[in-house]
Amino acid sequence: MIILGIETSCDETSLAVLNSKRRRLKLESFLVSSQTKLHARWGGVVPELAARRHAETIIPLLQETLQRAKVKPQDLDLIAVTAGPGLITALQVGVETAKALAATWRLLVVPVNHIAGHLVSPFLTPANWKLVWQRQTWPAVALVVSGGHTELYLMRSLAKWQLLGKTLDDAAGEAFDKVAKMLGLPYPGGPRVAKLAASGNPAAYDFPRPMLKTADSNFSFAGLKTAVRYSLPMRPSAQRKNDICASFQQAAIDVLVNKTLRAVAKHNAHTVIVGGGVSANQALRDAFAKALPSLERKSRLLFPEFRFTGDNAAMIALAAAVQTNFRIPPVKRNQLALQANANWELWN
Ligand code: KG4
Ligand code: ZN
């Protein structure tokens, strides 16, 4: 089955061609056009600008993706598109393009939830894909940490998820971005904070670890962000900035790792999955790797490859493959009625 994936939920236009045949998976081509530079001068993503840039970029990117995959439209079996959650104007570009292409090429459109994409993203790696079929992989506890979401799921298979908890205020990535802004670092802030943190002392500030000890699987990052704001001197030195970044990052990581591991123990999970933009954070990866052996049961740790941590169409195509269970469902008559849904939560 050859799937064209389309992702335009925020500030990356991405297309991918994924070939899935039973237990074999091959990413034929995969492109991301990032809008980072466009939004940097505004200090964050401007939805109208994002949508316009998606509209300008999507067709040339589509042509290049098909060319690189050496695939013609008539070779495709279905189109997978992110239908939510995300910025509505941005999502609409992907969804409407998918519908137009599907009508022209007589293909099925499969709407994919963006978070479902992040959940399956570690399995784009062939060695991990094999694990999907092994009984000892499941259940898994999956942490999604992105700019808009921080959620913990219990997964009984790649297609069966149950929400365990989520952030009650800011998402983890959002907290990184806001701390970056306070420090005058350019957008996108997460990677910048991580970079400064590498030269800072994580014990310099004793920032709060919100909800670290609560028995539920919910998170909160607003208080941590506020604590960082109050700790900021008028003109922080470079070293002070590094220390603030390192201490903030450590507090966020402590909460993410501890709460995930507690859920792993509670549900006797065999695997820990981490996905989303913040999963690119090396300190977070190291902290998980270091903490995992403390569990009674040996659990496997799965992170996406770095190229699949941020928003990308490869994970959207894979989520559609999982959703359709490797069989091509018939084209529905009413698929042109499909609408982007900015607030589409996975657990609804
Ligand atoms: O998944 P993603 O690309 O987009 C959303 O679905 O939101 O996640 C983007 C988020 C941003 O908040 C960005 O600052 C954060 O991921 N991020 C990082 C790192 N790389 C990206 N946060 C911390 N450390 C990083 N290395
Ligand atoms: Zn994302």
Average pLDDT, the chain: 96
Contact between 114 and 86 under an 8 Å Cβ cutoff? The reply is: yes
Q: What is the pLDDT of residue 348?
A: 58
Gap from CA of 115 to ligand 2 centroid (Å):
7
Q: Is the peptide bond before 126 cis (omega within 30 degrees of 0)?
A: no
Question: Per-residue b/e over 322-341, b at no fewer than 16 CB within 10 Å?
Answer: bbbeeeeeeeeeebeebebb
Proximal ligand: closest to the CA of 248: 1
Both ends of the chain: CA-CA distance in Å? 28
pLDDT by residue for the chain (348 residues), tens only, comes to 999 999 999 999 999 999 998 789 999 999 999 999 999 889 889 999 999 999 999 999 999 999 999 999 999 999 999 999 999 999 999 999 999 999 999 999 999 999 999 999 999 999 999 999 999 999 999 999 999 999 999 999 998 999 999 999 999 999 999 999 999 999 889 999 999 999 999 999 999 999 999 999 999 999 999 999 999 999 999 999 999 999 999 999 999 999 999 999 999 999 999 999 999 999 999 999 999 999 888 999 999 999 999 999 999 999 999 999 878 888 887 899 999 999 999 875
Question: Which residue among 115, 146, 150, 224 is best mutated to probe the pocket of ligand 1, counting the most ligand atoms within 8 A of its Cβ?
Answer: 146
Atom of ligand 1 nearest to the CA of 194: 24
Q: Per-residue pLDDT tens for 109-148?
A: 999 999 999 999 999 999 999 999 999 999 999 999 999 9
Ligand closest in space to the Cα of 148: 1
